[in-house]
Amino acid sequence: MKTLEHAALVALLVSGSIAGCTTTRYADSNTQAVDDATITANVRSALVQDPVTRSRNISVNTLHGTVELSGFVDSMGERHEAARVAGNVSGVNSVEDRLQINGSAPVVSSAVDDQTITADVRSALAANADTATPRIKVTTSNGVVQLAGFVDTNEERTSAASIASSISGVRSVDNDLRLNRLQ
């Protein structure tokens, strides 16, 4: 009888250990997603609070602690300040600076057109099964569309650029989409 109880106890401990391993991997995956979302929110907040970067069109994406900054600023100084601010946020492992410098300050009609172009590009990307992901960030300045964020395949990256360039008013597309290395 003792041998049977002992065998049952060993089986229970082994199955518990295996289940624990599975749960740990799942929890780590969720923790990373939460951490990346928290880092993104903290970087955005820090950029808004910084007097140099607060009114800039800067998008923030985070993957495994690597923060990607994209969008448009008016000077090299603003670009450096944004990277510095992001790099000082807790949890940031590295910063990839993909910010573009505006050629000149946009006039009001250009800003309105840029907003329309951005909205049209976002709509077109959302309507396409290959590019319907919130991980693609779109910004526009003076008709230049910048695509940033992460996609799973080169086909998605190419398709997104093709779709963006087909939108009326787009002068050019800066395709800064990166492949998600986990796929």
- Asked if residue 66 is part of any domain, the answer here is yes
Q: Give the domain extent around 145.
A: 31-179
137 token code pair: 């960030």
Question: In 120-136, which positions are buried (b, 16+ CB within 10 angstroms) versus exposed (e)?
Answer: bbbebbeeeebbeeebb
- Asked if residue 12 is part of any domain, the answer here is no
- pLDDT of res. 90: 92
**0.95 surpassed by pTM:** no
121 token code pair: 């590009």
The answer to whether 72 touches 98, Cβ cutoff 8 Å, is: no
- Asked if residue 161 is part of any domain, the answer here is yes
pLDDT in tens, the chain (183 residues): 555 454 444 444 444 444 443 333 334 454 555 588 899 889 989 998 988 887 677 888 888 899 999 888 888 888 899 999 999 999 999 998 888 887 654 444 455 588 889 999 999 999 888 888 888 999 998 889 999 988 888 899 999 999 998 888 888 899 989 888 765
- Asked if residue 9 is part of any domain, the answer here is no
- pLDDT of res. 22: 35
- Asked if residue 142 is part of any domain, the answer here is yes
- Asked if residue 21 is part of any domain, the answer here is no
Number of domains the chain contains? 1
- Asked if residue 119 is part of any domain, the answer here is yes
Cα angle value 61/65/69 (rounded, 5°): 30
- pLDDT of res. 107: 47
- Asked if residue 175 is part of any domain, the answer here is yes
Which domain CATH number covers 75? 3.30.1340.30
The answer to whether 54 touches 48, Cβ cutoff 8 Å, is: yes
